[in-house]
Amino acid sequence: MALRKAFFRKITIVALLAVVLALSHSIWFRWLGEFLVKSEEPFHADAVIVLAGDWNGDRVLRGAELVKQGFAPIAFISGPGYVYGINEGELAIEFAMKHGYPREYFEVMPSTSFSTRDEAAFSSSWLRARNVHKLMVVTNDFHTRRASKFFRAALGSDVEFRMIAVPDRFFSPDGWWHNREGQKVFFFEWSKTIAEVFGV
């Protein structure tokens, strides 16, 4: 009898916890989404780096706008990959030019990076060779916290930088769970965040 009571007590506690979690899911879903974002205000810098991996062109347009507004004289466009033999950075610049931004705003930063960690490490030597001490790093909002960690490790205290968050078309920190694409973005970014804790 005592064992049965203890069992039902545990079941009741678990059920109550499940109800509480279900009723409060929007609160902790929002917190988990907001944790991924590290958004900072633009400042006057020596350069902008636009990270690769945005096939919609939102990142490069934000980088171009920062140059247009006078925050930096140049935007380095990371181009680690090739699409039909054309560097991703060149494709991004062509996209920005079609939106009215001049070619002189940009410089391709070609690399062989396959991850944000590699991209940050490559950027470090690229920036030092160009005497960059103040930098803005442009990427999608969900990617900013993880990218910031890698750039801080790669740049050390030599370069002051700020993360410029570009809103994603599907992910929003306070509503990513409402659409399938937002859920996928959240899942993949958190998977990478957790994997990196274990050095994967």
Q: Please tell me the predicted confidence (pLDDT) of residue 2.
A: 58
Beta bridge partners of 50: 77, 138
Q: Please tell me the predicted confidence (pLDDT) of residue 5.
A: 58
Residue 88's CATH number = 3.40.50.620
Q: Please tell me the predicted confidence (pLDDT) of residue 16.
A: 46
Q: Please tell me the predicted confidence (pLDDT) of residue 195.
A: 85
Residue 33 lies in a domain: no
Residue 106 lies in a domain: yes
Residue 5 lies in a domain: no
Residue 20 lies in a domain: no
Q: What is the pLDDT of residues 41-95, one digit of tens each?
A: 999 999 999 999 898 999 999 999 999 999 999 999 998 878 888 899 999 999 9
Domain around 99: 47-166
Between CA 129 and CA 135, with CA 134 as vertex, the angle to 5 degrees is 85
Q: Please tell me the predicted confidence (pLDDT) of residue 4.
A: 57
Residue 109 lies in a domain: yes
Below-70 pLDDT ranges, the chain: 1-25, 199-200
Residue 154 lies in a domain: yes
Q: Please tell me the predicted confidence (pLDDT) of residue 23.
A: 47
Residue 117 lies in a domain: yes
Could you tell me if 96 and 105 are in contact, meaning their C-beta atoms sit under 8 angstroms apart? Answer: yes
pTM to 2 decimals?
0.87
Residue 35 lies in a domain: no
Closest CA to 87 of 118, 114, 108: 108
Distance of CA 148 to the CA centre of its chain: 8
Structural domain count, the chain: 1
User: At how many degrees (to 10) do helices 88-98 and 58-68 cross?
Assistant: 60
Closest CA to 119 of 50, 186, 46: 50
